[in-house]
């Protein structure tokens, strides 16, 4: 058998339903690091109050930051003419490239290529017989930061 094989999975498997399967005990996963900012802690508290659980999807904080970046850029460049809203795509791109904001994941600055963040990746392991996604994501064995 496969008893001695070390199984690994990427962020797509790092979900609330998958990690609860008994076959995942001992597996390693890579996924986005859980932010350690005060803004993120506040976000989780409000989310849990509203929905009765913590956010469970791997990229929830990054999606939140991306949505705010886009909405801020749209607000900066949109022009209302009558009852029509115009958004020039070049102006929108330029506004996104000028992003300099504090998000849930930390300080976000975009460059001229549209790269807006350094991906921080955690390697975690499911060591619990009855895990939940929060416990698995908290069991960080290694954190990868580009350039370090």
136 pLDDT higher than 70: yes
Which pTM value belongs to this model? 0.83
Least confident stretch, 47-56, 64-73, 115-124, 126-135: 126-135
- DSSP, res 141: E
Task: Give residues with Cβ within 8 angstroms of 145, minimum separation 6.
Answer: 118, 120
Token pair for 53:
């659980």
Give the whole-angstrom CA distance, residue 103 versus residue 62.
9
Residue 94 CA to its chain's centroid (Å):
24
pLDDT tens digits, one per residue of 3-47: 788 999 999 898 888 988 888 889 999 999 989 899 999 999 999
53 pLDDT higher than 70: yes
Question: What is residue 15's predicted lDDT score, i.e. its pLDDT?
Answer: 87
Give the whole-angstrom CA distance, residue 138 versus residue 95.
35
């Amino acid at each position: 058998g496969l008893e001695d094989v070390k199984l690994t999975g990427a962020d797509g498997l790092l979900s609330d339903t998958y990690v609860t399967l008994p076959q995942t005990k001992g597996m390693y996963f890579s996924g986005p690091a859980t932010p350690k900012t005060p803004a993120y802690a506040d976000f989780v508290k409000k989310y849990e109050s509203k929905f009765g659980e913590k956010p469970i999807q791997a990229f929830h904080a990054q999606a939140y930051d991306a949505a705010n970046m886009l909405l801020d850029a749209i607000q900066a460049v949109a022009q209302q003419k009558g009852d029509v809203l115009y958004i020039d795509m070049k102006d929108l791109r330029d506004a996104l490239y000028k992003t300099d904001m504090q998000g849930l994941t930390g300080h976000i600055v975009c460059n001229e290529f549209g790269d807006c963040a350094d991906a921080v990746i955690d390697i975690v392991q499911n060591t619990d017989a009855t895990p939940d996604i929060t416990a698995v994501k908290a069991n960080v064995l290694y954190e990868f930061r580009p350039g370090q």
